[in-house]
Amino acid sequence: MSLHAHPVGLADRFRSVRDLSAALVSRLSDADASVQSMADASPAKWHLAHTTWFFETFVLRDHVPGYVLHDARFPFLFNSYYEAEGQRHARDRRGMITRPHLDEVLGYRAAVDAAVLDALDALPDVARDLVALGCHHEEQHQELLLTDILHLFAQNPIAPAIWEGARKVPVQMPGPMGWIECGAQVTEIGHDGDGFAFDCEAPRHATLLSAHAIADRTVTNGEWAAFIADGGYADPRHWLADGWAWVKADAIDAPLYWERAEDGGWTRFGLDGRRAIDPAAPVTHVSFFEADAYASWAGARLPTEAEWEAAAAGYDPAVGNLLDAAGPVEPRPSADGPAFFGDVWEWTGSAYRPYPGFRAAEGAVGEYNGKFMSGQFVLRGGSCASPRGHVRASYRNFFYPHQRWQFTGVRLAKDL
Amino acid sequence: MSLHAHPVGLADRFRSVRDLSAALVSRLSDADASVQSMADASPAKWHLAHTTWFFETFVLRDHVPGYVLHDARFPFLFNSYYEAEGQRHARDRRGMITRPHLDEVLGYRAAVDAAVLDALDALPDVARDLVALGCHHEEQHQELLLTDILHLFAQNPIAPAIWEGARKVPVQMPGPMGWIECGAQVTEIGHDGDGFAFDCEAPRHATLLSAHAIADRTVTNGEWAAFIADGGYADPRHWLADGWAWVKADAIDAPLYWERAEDGGWTRFGLDGRRAIDPAAPVTHVSFFEADAYASWAGARLPTEAEWEAAAAGYDPAVGNLLDAAGPVEPRPSADGPAFFGDVWEWTGSAYRPYPGFRAAEGAVGEYNGKFMSGQFVLRGGSCASPRGHVRASYRNFFYPHQRWQFTGVRLAKDL
Amino acid sequence: MSLHAHPVGLADRFRSVRDLSAALVSRLSDADASVQSMADASPAKWHLAHTTWFFETFVLRDHVPGYVLHDARFPFLFNSYYEAEGQRHARDRRGMITRPHLDEVLGYRAAVDAAVLDALDALPDVARDLVALGCHHEEQHQELLLTDILHLFAQNPIAPAIWEGARKVPVQMPGPMGWIECGAQVTEIGHDGDGFAFDCEAPRHATLLSAHAIADRTVTNGEWAAFIADGGYADPRHWLADGWAWVKADAIDAPLYWERAEDGGWTRFGLDGRRAIDPAAPVTHVSFFEADAYASWAGARLPTEAEWEAAAAGYDPAVGNLLDAAGPVEPRPSADGPAFFGDVWEWTGSAYRPYPGFRAAEGAVGEYNGKFMSGQFVLRGGSCASPRGHVRASYRNFFYPHQRWQFTGVRLAKDL
Amino acid sequence: MSLHAHPVGLADRFRSVRDLSAALVSRLSDADASVQSMADASPAKWHLAHTTWFFETFVLRDHVPGYVLHDARFPFLFNSYYEAEGQRHARDRRGMITRPHLDEVLGYRAAVDAAVLDALDALPDVARDLVALGCHHEEQHQELLLTDILHLFAQNPIAPAIWEGARKVPVQMPGPMGWIECGAQVTEIGHDGDGFAFDCEAPRHATLLSAHAIADRTVTNGEWAAFIADGGYADPRHWLADGWAWVKADAIDAPLYWERAEDGGWTRFGLDGRRAIDPAAPVTHVSFFEADAYASWAGARLPTEAEWEAAAAGYDPAVGNLLDAAGPVEPRPSADGPAFFGDVWEWTGSAYRPYPGFRAAEGAVGEYNGKFMSGQFVLRGGSCASPRGHVRASYRNFFYPHQRWQFTGVRLAKDL
């Protein structure tokens, strides 16, 4: 990552990040927080503990002389994938850890929080950078925590709602998609080193854009329903071969969490339970395969990540439907002009690969991003579950092309 | 099942069975009670709710006019396998049900208990028989609850203990196995209709025993350690072909929950955590395949279920190491004479098939036993986790030959 | 096995068995003989070579001084499952062995045949017994060869016919099933030691029959079509739980090789290609699960193996629709009286377990039967693909309850 | 594809391509040509028939009035993946098609060849373009045929050799890798429209190269052995996370077909059987995961496809170790200067994705390349099994990152 000054407020920043995590689980029972609904997801309790382990290991253990581990058994339980940190509990067995209890994990958090805050002023810069990294790391897990708990509740036949739904403000349907044109040109993308970024966003480098247009908004639920109604899921011509195999094998015929209502319309499951879809809101919980097929059906394509970043560079990444507090986050319709941040992560057509000159960080945190650079596609822009302030134009998220339990959506592009 | 008088005390019986279930979960957290550790096991909360659903469905719904279901969503969640009762939640997804909470399930129990006790005196005989059946049914689930929670805790790297270990009374090692001889003869086995029995125990019928001897005790941990030390798990000559395939595929080299200690000895995991094995105690958590291989190695064989029942018929099934109260149940060494009940379920060499003249009960409860009569082997005698009073000489338990998370052990027999 | 005199004709017997195998493959191409269509099946070439390996290993290598193996690589390739004979090629990879060619395998056969015949007169009795055993062993593989090649051809969308269909003799539909009654009694079953038998047929022993009736013929295709039409495959009440799971998982709705014709009737695939079913002929290619479900639907049950053997004991096992020569074997309607041999192997309700006093033979051939005694059910009577003379009343065939690529059928029984 | 004049010799070209395919199978038996060794591979017979189906369908059926299919059953059998051409036989069941025989498939080829040659002069340009496309298509299958048959023979414990090994010419070990440097620049890649190319090679477009160096030769067997000896397969730091999971799951510890010799050295299996590796020859049968890990271990990276194409643009793609005739192809050491074509396909670090402005061809042949553009990586340069004349600088091959049964190898690059 690229780290610079934390002139004021690292303690405040740390506190506010840590508090939000606690708020997100405030309505979860011990069982809600302990069960793992699939191998891709982790229990909420595990997210709470793993983010704490990150601070305890890379800050307290490595930089606070005399620090004694809160519990010597926790590194084995709560290391995620850092090979350099030794053996760890199998990822797909995280749901077996009913002990420690949720209360004990919250106690672990409190103890580590106190130790970090106590040590913070005296920490060397490298350790303060790790505190800042840990905050960004925890923000990533806040988003995963929300999407994982949504996935868990979706498995329960009684479809529990964690929160009451947000008040729905009547919104006009968005008008036709507009297109932002861009001529062929050399431009620069990647993080410029001003403020925090993850290692995979660097180095900033020149890239060549071909002439293209990019949509000024994402695809809506209503548009997606038209794709379904037109037989989009049944026509192999729109689909990548791997995507078509996935559609057939898993009997995919709609976005994740969509179900037909008795009246023939569609419902979706969300953190506020099962409700009718909002045709004006951005479609979400679609895979790359679905996004690509939709684009093909629409006579368009997905943008590259460079096209996306060039288009988004002029917008404020802190404006939009992003996560501010615990609650029933979901994509929402907007009547405003072009927006690139929040609501849904937007699948790009770019495979997640290193930028020219990319180098992983030294040490265990060097495992942060580089080793995942095969088989995944880049997503951009953040979602309604991304903490406000977490994303930026250069931010690269990545998932496998079949995954869709995140708040993922679609923006179209086309060649000029 | 064969049901006769409940002259006195059906209410008392009902209360005491229901109370024991509650006691068994008294040390479990909501998460402990909600997680499913494998498809064969069920969450403790599910056992609590399913046994309650049994009373609610077959007694209250069917026999109490005007009864209104406690929660209309529960039948879908808590029906186990009764096809006649309609669709139900997938067995291997029971661990997804974090809601209702444990407290809500305990509330469900309280409500149904009150309704049953309120209705009991006025119930017709057929319904009172179903209450009695429900009590036996719940006793079966008490044993499963204990073995399922043991399995769950065994998956946790920190190896939690639910209870402190029982006080260990020093016991002399048992002497050499003695043999109880029996000449060729026609005898009768099966339930004689006096008192409760499950349908598969009937009808009582003549059977022909060949001349044989049956051991006067079960195989001990110490004897099993000698089998291991002699290469028993590495020599295909002792193993059934299916068993050998299982040993190779799953890298089996000791009973379930056994681990090597640093001193080269063996430990086992139990409801009181991980401890050294007791060489004098009956070996447990072995599969049929292991039991059969051990018998082959020992130059013996497993008894048939008829041989076992004939030998056990003269012993009191309520005497032995059986479940009386919540606590760290485990097989224990005994210096007394021959015993056939308690400690460990004993694998027989008999496939679980219907007796001559067997007929399933009418209605949904007719699905109780008959449909499981393929691929499984009969076990006899009850275990330390079987409620005292639950088993009898004619009692037929059954599991697949690779399963071993129950308290299962080995008694030898041989031809004369 | 139980072996006695080979008074005359062991050489003739050997020659005729070996010749029939060669005849069975006379219409197969090298490819037909080399491909493996599923893990349960073996290539025809493998059957030809494995049966030859049996003679080479247990007769020539072990009993002919100075014998040199035909090809030192063949034991690894063609040992089936004899652990005592060392490592061997994986069963499910037998279809990878395109070399040696079919011609080379036939050359292997010729060389071993010559060596056996050359040595035969001088062999000790134990080796002559092994020659006799090898002939019976090869007869088993002749049946497997036919059913395996049928399975292979059934995978080919062009449905090749190996032979022209047999001339169909018009036969009247069989009349209603008749019942042969039998009172409760002690009788003896098992091989009496007169002539050849496999080890699992011994020892002959007393058994107790309960009062029952057994059908005088097997179930027909026409009767099976009525079961289908009555929703037999869709009603869980008829099915064992494991069977119902199999029906759902594999979308089973008819016997193997049955397909709907355009006119709504049924066709089946056979060694003579795809043709209409013959409603008067015995149904075949049904699993134990299907057989048991049919019996339940019909208000009956499957016979035990003891009931079957007692009923069949008075009939000549060499009379019936059995294999005499290479050709389009299939079950055929018969207007004659009760018949117990040929046409289809009849599923019994008996698990395949050892008889009282069973002992496996010494040495590698001791692996012949005993180690398969878990999880399988006994079938009796032989089929149209069983060489005439191969079966007898005491003969115990065995398969897993879901398997149905053999010529397997159903005879009903009921309690009296 | 981009197609231009076939001024002279399309008939000759067609004949010579078709003849080479026949030559490649001249030493295969019917069984060798029929068995499928894994789902990724196809039987040789299938390749022969499928390439013929391509001409029959897109040329004869679509462009020759009155043409009657050779066999109406063949389209179902031999269509590969063209959804627009209707239902087809399952890819992983191609090995079940023992009929038609190899001879019949050769007859199919002869009939279609005659019909194409007969019609050729009168064909419209669009159809002549399809003949040319069919020749390139068949060349691709020639390479697959060789690698698939190699894979099949490698499964046979007797390790058959199809051909005698080529005469080995003693060659000095190559010197240290040299580096070809390239400054940052905009350059063009992609096919320029002069001569044949597949659709995915177009359009030619500007791309921006960063400053880098690319090796002047590929990695050798000897260098790979050093990577192994240094623990390269045991150190997760070198591996992508997906690659490390693959290494652990499949116990990967050397290139495909490598085995330890008794003297501790390495052997490999080839079309000439099992022999010692040649330390001077390019390493082959390594996956992208292995290639990437090797590059990491070597302190380098893989080239991008643009870097590779820019470097290779000045070399003659018809010079090198390419396929000229049936025989024991394998990578060979070379003492000459930089070479980019032949020997081994070189993994690039570029995901296989569409070029800016890519458009799939109309009709069924439009399924040729575009639908495979997810999850795969680009390889460049052709191999010893690529027909001479088949590859060019813009040629894009692609495989999944774990696949390695092709002749795949490694060229290094690094940032400047």
D189 contact partners, CB below 8 Å, separation of at least 6: D204, D205, D207, D305, D306, D309, D310, D394
Residue of A nearest to B73 (CA): A158
Cβ-defined contact of B77 to A157 (cutoff 8 Å): yes
Cβ-defined contact of B31 to A98 (cutoff 8 Å): yes
Give phi and psi for B55, each to the nearest 5: -65, -45
Nearest to D210 among A205, A236, A244 (CB): A205
- Residue of A98, A148, A155, A163 to mutate, testing the B interface (most B Cβ within 10 Å of its Cβ): A98
pLDDT, residue C170, reads 62
Residues of A within 8 A of D81 (CB-CB) are 241
User: What is the distance in angstroms between the Cα of C30 and the nearest Cα belonging to chain D?
Assistant: 5
- Residue of A25, A27, A28, A30 to mutate, testing the B interface (most B Cβ within 10 Å of its Cβ): A30
- Could you tell me the pLDDT band of residue B167, with boundaries at 50, 70 and 90? low
Count H helices and E strands in chain B, helices first.
Answer: 10, 12
Cβ-defined contact of D34 to C37 (cutoff 8 Å): no
Q: Quick count: other Cβ atoms within 10 Å of Cβ B70?
A: 19
Nearest to B357 among C186, C237, C415 (CB): C415
Distance of CA C81 to the CA centre of its chain: 18
- Sign for the pseudo-dihedral over CA of C268, C270, C272, C277: negative
Chains with ≥3 CB–CB distances under 8 Å to B: A, C
Is pLDDT at C279 greater than 90 in this prediction? yes
Nearest to B242 among C208, C241, C375 (CB): C375
* Structural tokens at position D218: 């590929």
Residue of A nearest to D244 (CA): A371
User: What is the distance in angstroms between the Cα of A195 and the nearest Cα belonging to chain B?
Assistant: 40
- Could you tell me the pLDDT band of residue D171, with boundaries at 50, 70 and 90? low
Strands D258-260, D266-270: pairing kind: antiparallel
Cβ-defined contact of A29 to B156 (cutoff 8 Å): no
List Cα–Cα distances, D393 to B141, B178, D129, D311, D400, in angstroms: 70, 84, 21, 9, 21
User: What is the distance in angstroms between the Cα of C310 and the nearest Cα belonging to chain B?
Assistant: 16
- Could you tell me the pLDDT band of residue D103, with boundaries at 50, 70 and 90? very high
B273 contact partners, CB below 8 Å, separation of at least 6: B159, B160, B161, B165
- Could you tell me the pLDDT band of residue B173, with boundaries at 50, 70 and 90? confident
Is pLDDT at A206 greater than 80 in this prediction? yes
Q: Is the Cβ of C289 closer than 8 Å to some Cβ of chain B?
A: yes
Looking at the domain D10-154, which fold is it? Answer: Four Helix Bundle (Hemerythrin (Met), subunit A) (1.20.120)
- Cα dihedral: C80, C83, C89, C92 (round 10): 60
Higher pLDDT, D200 or D365: D200
Q: Is the Cβ of A271 closer than 8 Å to some Cβ of chain B?
A: no
Give phi and psi for B169, each to the nearest 5: -90, 125
Chains with ≥3 CB–CB distances under 8 Å to A: B, D
Nearest to D35 among C89, C96, C100 (CB): C96
pLDDT, residue B169, reads 63
Q: Is the Cβ of B373 closer than 8 Å to some Cβ of chain C?
A: yes
Cα A292 from Cα A301, distance rounded (Å): 7
Residues of A within 8 A of B88 (CB-CB) are none
pLDDT in tens, A343-367: 999 999 999 999 999 988 776 677 6
In this structure, are residues C30 and D31 in contact, taking their beta carbons and an 8 Å threshold? yes
- Could you tell me the pLDDT band of residue D361, with boundaries at 50, 70 and 90? confident
Choose among A319, A366, A311: nearest CA to A342.
Answer: A319
pLDDT, residue C275, reads 95
Is pLDDT at B336 greater than 90 in this prediction? no
Cβ-defined contact of C205 to B210 (cutoff 8 Å): yes
- Could you tell me the pLDDT band of residue D20, with boundaries at 50, 70 and 90? very high
Chains with ≥3 CB–CB distances under 8 Å to C: B, D
Which residue is it, tokens 């006093």?
Answer: C357
* Structural tokens at position D214: 């690319």
In the predicted model, what is the mean pLDDT of chain C? 94
Residue of C nearest to D87 (CA): C157
Which residue is it, tokens 């020569």?
Answer: C325
In this structure, are residues D396 and D383 in contact, taking their beta carbons and an 8 Å threshold? no
Nearest to A96 among B77, B89, B156 (CB): B156
Cβ-defined contact of B240 to C373 (cutoff 8 Å): yes
Cα A393 from Cα A380, distance rounded (Å): 8
User: What is the distance in angstroms between the Cα of B96 and the nearest Cα belonging to chain C?
Assistant: 22
ipTM, two decimals: 0.95
For chains B and C, having 3+ Cβ pairs within 8 Å is answered yes
For chains D and C, having 3+ Cβ pairs within 8 Å is answered yes
Mean pLDDT of the region C87-101? 94
Looking at the domain C10-155, which fold is it? Answer: Four Helix Bundle (Hemerythrin (Met), subunit A) (1.20.120)
pLDDT, residue D86, reads 82
In the predicted model, what is the mean pLDDT of chain B? 94
Residue of C nearest to D34 (CA): C31
User: What is the distance in angstroms between the Cα of D270 and the nearest Cα belonging to chain C?
Assistant: 16
Tally A–B CB contacts below 8 A. Answer: 90
Share of chain C above pLDDT 90, in %: 87
- Measure CA of the first residue to CA of the last residue in chain A; give whole Å: 35
List Cα–Cα distances, C126 to B239, C66, C133, in angstroms: 27, 18, 10
Q: In which element (H, E) is residue C278 found?
A: none
User: What is the distance in angstroms between the Cα of C95 and the nearest Cα belonging to chain D?
Assistant: 7
Share of chain B above pLDDT 90, in %: 87
Residues of D within 8 A of C89 (CB-CB) are 157
* Structural tokens at position A147: 């999407």
Residue A315 CB burial class (10 angstroms; 0-12, 13-18, ≥19): middle
Tally B–C CB contacts below 8 A. Answer: 83
Cβ-defined contact of D83 to A349 (cutoff 8 Å): no
Q: Is the Cβ of C155 closer than 8 Å to some Cβ of chain D?
A: yes
Mean pLDDT of the region C213-230? 97
For chains A and C, having 3+ Cβ pairs within 8 Å is answered no
User: D228 pairs with which residues across the strands?
Assistant: none
Cβ-defined contact of A35 to B30 (cutoff 8 Å): no
pLDDT, residue B338, reads 81
In this structure, are residues C387 and C20 in contact, taking their beta carbons and an 8 Å threshold? yes
Between positions 59 and 88 of D, the ones with CB within 8 A of A are 81, 83-84
Cα C377 from Cα C359, distance rounded (Å): 20
Cα D166 from Cα D155, distance rounded (Å): 22
Is pLDDT at A388 greater than 70 in this prediction? yes
Q: Is the Cβ of A178 closer than 8 Å to some Cβ of chain D?
A: no
Q: Quick count: other Cβ atoms within 10 Å of Cβ B131?
A: 23
Choose among A187, A351, A201: nearest CA to D349.
Answer: A351
Residues of A within 8 A of D240 (CB-CB) are 371-374
B137 contact partners, CB below 8 Å, separation of at least 6: B51, B54
pLDDT, residue D279, reads 95
Is pLDDT at D81 greater than 60 in this prediction? yes
Cβ-defined contact of B158 to A73 (cutoff 8 Å): yes
pLDDT, residue A3, reads 46
Nearest to A208 among D84, D207, D377 (CB): D207
Q: Is the Cβ of C353 closer than 8 Å to some Cβ of chain D?
A: no
Q: Is the Cβ of A251 closer than 8 Å to some Cβ of chain D?
A: no
Residue of B nearest to C235 (CA): B83
In this structure, are residues C300 and C291 in contact, taking their beta carbons and an 8 Å threshold? no
Mean pLDDT of the region D233-262? 96
Residue of C nearest to B370 (CA): C240
pLDDT in tens, B212-259: 999 999 999 999 999 999 999 999 999 999 999 999 999 999 999 999
Mean pLDDT of the region D319-323? 96
3-state secondary structure of C131: helix
User: What is the distance in angstroms between the Cα of B155 and the nearest Cα belonging to chain A?
Assistant: 6
Poorest-pLDDT segment among A165-169, C290-294, D401-405 = A165-169
pLDDT, residue D2, reads 40
Residue of A nearest to D367 (CA): A237
Q: What residue spans define the domains of chain D? A: 10-154, 179-415
Residues of D within 8 A of C149 (CB-CB) are none
pLDDT in tens, A251-278: 999 999 999 999 999 999 999 999 999 9
Cβ-defined contact of B35 to A89 (cutoff 8 Å): no
Is pLDDT at D183 greater than 60 in this prediction? yes
- Could you tell me the pLDDT band of residue B189, with boundaries at 50, 70 and 90? very high
pLDDT in tens, C124-183: 999 999 999 999 999 999 999 999 999 999 999 999 999 987 666 666 788 899 999 999
Is pLDDT at C365 greater than 80 in this prediction? no
List Cα–Cα distances, C52 to B331, C49, C105, C110, in angstroms: 52, 5, 9, 9
Cβ-defined contact of A35 to B96 (cutoff 8 Å): yes
Residue D231 CB burial class (10 angstroms; 0-12, 13-18, ≥19): exposed
Is pLDDT at B101 greater than 70 in this prediction? yes
Nearest to A89 among B89, B152, B157 (CB): B157
In this structure, are residues B60 and B117 in contact, taking their beta carbons and an 8 Å threshold? no
Cβ-defined contact of A73 to B157 (cutoff 8 Å): yes
Looking at the domain A179-415, which fold is it? Answer: paralog of FGE (formylglycine-generating enzyme) (3.90.1580)
